[in-house]
């Protein structure tokens, strides 16, 4: 399921200077992971082959948290595009662990990849589902020639996933599957999650 690029941007936008970057980590000879603090709705690297990942729900028509912020920033066209994504069963456009792509509309990033992380529950193997969310987001990005991708801390808000456990899944999955993107970013909203992610990246990856 590929989506044509909806617009050409005349201006290159980058994260505002208020977001700080805790450094780069090496994923491969040509690929880097960057951990930033900031608002993912403001993120873009080139405005034509970049995507932000939206931690959505299965209905995929918006919600609270980062999902709400992304829909507000993208404008009503994003909801219309989401509405057109076919349901796989009533009320489900994106099953937990899967990913779908739309244009970014009024966002600085050209695309949004919607994924649904697990609601944290020790009895339902949330780890495998969270890993699928990251892995399938990367696959959909690759199919659509995305070169730069930014993730929030999927499932770490409303869905209640503990940060430390989530950081292990997030960074190890990216280490395994993201080494042919130009740049993979995390854009983390709060100090506590940012610190946990930075510590985990130092543990699992080589600083650049
Ligand atoms: N930029 C970056 N990160 C953000 C932003 C932002 N603008 N806003 C919040 N976060 P959540 P989930 C962080 O709750 O846990 C929605 O209602 C936030 O602090 O957005 O996967 C959906 O519709 C947290 O660390 O996503 C679903 O129903 C992280 O993003 C449900 O919530 C993820 O928190 C999904 O829950």
Q: How many CB atoms lie within 10 A of CB 88?
A: 12
Strand duo 31-37 + 183-188: pairing: parallel
**Reduced to 3 states, what is the DSSP secondary structure of residue 10?**
coil
| Helices 76-83 and 65-74, packing angle to 10 deg | 110
Ligand 1 near 189 CB (within 6 A): yes
Residue among 20, 54, 152, 162 to mutate when testing ligand 1 (max atoms within 8 A of CB): 152
Q: Which atom of ligand 1 is nearest to the CA of 64?
A: 17
Radius of gyration of the chain (CA): 16
What's the CA-to-centroid distance between 64 and ligand 1, angstroms?
7
pLDDT in the model for residue 5: 46
45/14 Cα distance (integer angstroms): 6
Active-site annotation holder among 39, 46, 50, 67: 67
Block means of pLDDT (10 residues each) for the chain, 208 residues, are: 45 44 85 97 98 98 98 98 98 98 98 98 87 98 98 98 98 96 98 98 95
133/50 Cα distance (integer angstroms): 18
Ligand 1 near 88 CB (within 6 A): no
Contact 188, 194 (CB under 8 A): yes
Ligand 1 near 153 CB (within 6 A): yes
Ligand 1 near 24 CB (within 6 A): no
Alpha-carbon torsion (24, 16, 157, 94), positive or negative:
negative
18/38 Cα distance (integer angstroms): 7
Active site residue 67: yes
Residue 12: exposed, middle, or buried by beta-carbon count in 10 A (0-12, 13-18, 19+)?
exposed
Ligand 1 near 159 CB (within 6 A): yes
Tokens 């600083």 correspond to 207
73/2 Cα distance (integer angstroms): 23
Pick from 59, 87, 80, 37: which is nearest to 187 by CA? 37
Q: Which atom of ligand 1 is nearest to the CA of 69?
A: 7
The H or E element containing residue 15 is none
pLDDT in the model for residue 9: 44
Q: Which atom of ligand 1 is nearest to the CA of 55?
A: 21
């Amino acid at each position: 399921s590929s989506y044509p690029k909806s617009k050409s941007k005349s201006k290159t936008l980058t994260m505002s200077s208020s977001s700080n970057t805790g450094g780069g980590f090496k994923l491969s000879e040509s690929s880097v992971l960057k951990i930033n603090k900031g608002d993912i709705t403001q993120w873009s690297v080139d405005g034509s082959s970049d995507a932000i990942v939206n931690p959505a729900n299965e209905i995929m028509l918006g919600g609270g948290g980062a999902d709400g912020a992304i829909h507000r920033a993208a404008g009503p066209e994003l909801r219309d595009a989401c509405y057109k994504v076919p349901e796989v069963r009533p009320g489900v456009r994106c099953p937990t662990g899967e990913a779908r792509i739309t244009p970014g509309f009024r966002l600085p990033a050209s695309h949004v990849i919607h994924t649904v992380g697990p609601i944290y529950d020790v009895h339902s193997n949330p780890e495998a589902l969270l890993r699928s969310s990251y892995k399938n987001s990367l696959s959909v990005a690759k199919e659509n020639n995305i070169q730069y991708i930014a993730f929030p801390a999927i499932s770490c808000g409303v869905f209640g996933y503990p940060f430390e456990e989530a950081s292990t899944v997030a960074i190890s999955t990216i280490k395994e599957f993201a080494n042919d993107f130009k740049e993979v970013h995390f854009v983390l909203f709060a100090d506590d999650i940012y610190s946990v992610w930075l510590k985990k990246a130092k543990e699992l990856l080589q600083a650049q």
